[in-house]
Amino acid sequence: MAKGKDTSLSINANERSSLLNNRLDDSIHSSRRESIRARSSSSVNEATKKQRFRDIRICYFGMFVSSIVFSITVSSLWPFLQIIDTTSEATFLGWLVAAFSIGQLIASPLIGYITNQTNKNTMPLVISTALIAASNILYGYVQSINNVGMSNKWWLMLSRFIMGIGAANSTIMRSYASSATTITERTAVMANLSAYQGVGFIIGPLIQALFAFMGYPGPVHKSWLYLNIYTAPAFFSALTAAVNLVLFLVAFGDTRVATSTRKDSVKSTSNHIQSKIKSSKRHDQSMAIICCLYMFFVAYLTFTNYETIASPLSIDMYAWSKEQSTRNNGYILGVLGVMSVVVLIVTKLLAKCLQDRMLMLLGMIISFLGYAVFLPWGSDYPSVQIASFTPTTVTSSAPITTMTSSLQTTTADAGDKGCPLDYQWCYYIPRVQLWQYILASVIITIGFSISNVICYSIFSKKLGDRPQGTMMGIFTSAGSFARAFGPIAVGFLYKHWGPRAMMIFMLVFVLTSIIALLFNYQRLDVEAEEKDDFDEDDDDDEERNINGGDQYNNNDDITE
């Protein structure tokens, strides 16, 4: 009896041992297959790295083109508007600048959603880039249209609106960059995309200034073509868009990163606890994403409003002519564009030793100081147009005696220099000094350059590995909304209350963004999340090594 019992125990032990060995074998084979897939994915990524980064570089140029079409004509938009429609006011200028951003605001989420659903990038990029080229040609031919169907100023607005729709391709390029990079590559690529966009946004007016030698009416002044200081930048934009279009058609391969699926069998335990943790993390992540959207909105609001008001403010404050304003502001913004490149390089270096959220706070504080410097003060008031006069001689004769005297009369100059007569604030708001204007421009550009890159980096890291087309569309729309809302609000404030009200308006917005950042400071700690993800991956690798060892040369496993 005892012997039978011992035999039974031995059999049960052997069965358990056999079952355990089978489970261990299954675990080893599963771990081996996982490791082989990961290694295979890694080798594929390395093989396609050259192709991926070729496509990413095309996107760099595309981001520059989609950004430059907005800013290249901003410094000349006001004088060009007054040429094609003499009845236009500063309020309409705000709507004209905003038309581009309204188009981009509408198109960005839609094109991001479509790209996510179709999982194709090439055709949307081709169509949107073609729209950029066509709309710039329409802009250059506004004078040739000569009020056919509607006023020239509405044709100008239509061209800007279509440009904005085309510029929504920045959403596709951001989404593609997230799917074409590994985790380690993504931060640098996203920062570069943002840098190209920021540089294009700032350096556009410099390109406009380079066409100042053409003057107005320019070398070609025919009914079939008007080529001058105002239309040449549009034709230049059309040319760069055409080059980008050819690159998308011929060289863009839409190459993605090959990813491998990872089984979370070990993490299946403690689901209830993990669910609570994930719910808390999702809430924090949502708040961080909303904060990023608002900070990105304010960042673009700071520079868009400055760029919009630069031309009318310089004409009104310093009695510059239209051509002087276009040329001088182009040079100023061009120098700022070069400076922004240096700031971007320094920012990338600082990002290695400082946290992203800290750099974001620094950028916002600098922008706040820029608009504080911009505030007009003192007792030096701008000259008004009535003060710009041409001396003439008036001869008065009587029947008996003839007397000749010289009197000074106020004849308006053709250039309409100085502050307009119907702007009541010209008589009680001090002038923004030229040194203030230049210093504030430098400070605002530094703040914008830092905020733009870092905000984009934080947002991309917070999204993680999820498909980013729709969210990048919303992110782009936040910047577009700033470029739509800002010029309209600034144009209204500037016309009725002058530069002081505009500066206070901007100071309030920047201050609220700083408060929002401080309130969500802990949630914006992307470095801690990256460390957690890294440790998580290390644990998985360690588990695979324990279960599977280093024996990965089994041909049966490779074929599986």
- 427 vs 411: CA distance, rounded Å: 20
Largest interatomic CA distance in the chain: 160
Name the one residue in this structure whose structure tokens are 């500066």: 503
User: What confidence score (pLDDT) does residue 472 get?
Assistant: 75
Q: Is residue 489 within 8 Å of residue 505, measured between CB atoms?
A: yes
How many CB atoms sit inside 10 A of residue 154's CB?
16
Q: Which domains does the chain have, with CATH numbers?
A: 43-256 (1.20.1250.20), 282-386+417-526 (1.20.1250.20)
For helices 152-166 and 122-140, the axis angle rounded to 10 degrees is: 160
Q: Is residue 169 within 8 Å of residue 125, measured between CB atoms?
A: yes
List Cα–Cα distances, 190 to 76, 270, 442, 456, 457, in angstroms.
31, 36, 25, 7, 6
Amino acid at the residue 258: A
User: What confidence score (pLDDT) does residue 46 get?
Assistant: 62
pTM of the prediction? 0.66
Residue by residue, DSSP assigns 154-206 as HHHHHHHHHHHHHTTHHHHHHHHHHHSS-HHHHHHHHHHHHHHHHHHHHHHHH
The three-class DSSP label of residue 394 is: strand
Q: Is residue 115 within 8 Å of residue 256, measured between CB atoms?
A: no
How many CB atoms sit inside 10 A of residue 249's CB?
13
- 345 vs 184: CA distance, rounded Å: 19
Taking only the tens place, the pLDDT of each residue in 436-477 is: 999 999 999 999 889 888 887 788 778 766 656 677 778 878
Which of 108, 100, 131 lies closest to 245, judged by CA? 131
Spell out the per-residue pLDDT of the chain, length 560, in tens. 554 555 554 545 555 555 445 544 555 555 555 544 444 445 545 657 888 889 999 999 999 998 888 888 877 888 899 889 888 877 788 788 888 888 988 998 888 888 888 888 899 999 999 999 999 999 999 999 988 889 999 999 999 999 999 998 988 898 888 788 876 777 678 778 877 887 787 778 778 888 888 888 889 988 889 999 999 999 999 999 999 999 999 999 888 875 544 434 334 445 555 565 566 677 788 888 899 999 999 998 988 888 778 888 888 888 888 788 878 887 887 788 788 888 888 888 888 888 889 999 999 999 999 999 999 988 888 877 654 444 444 444 444 443 433 333 333 344 567 788 778 888 888 989 999 999 999 999 999 889 888 887 788 778 766 656 677 778 878 888 887 888 888 888 888 898 999 899 999 999 999 999 999 998 888 765 555 544 444 444 444 443 434 433 333 333 33
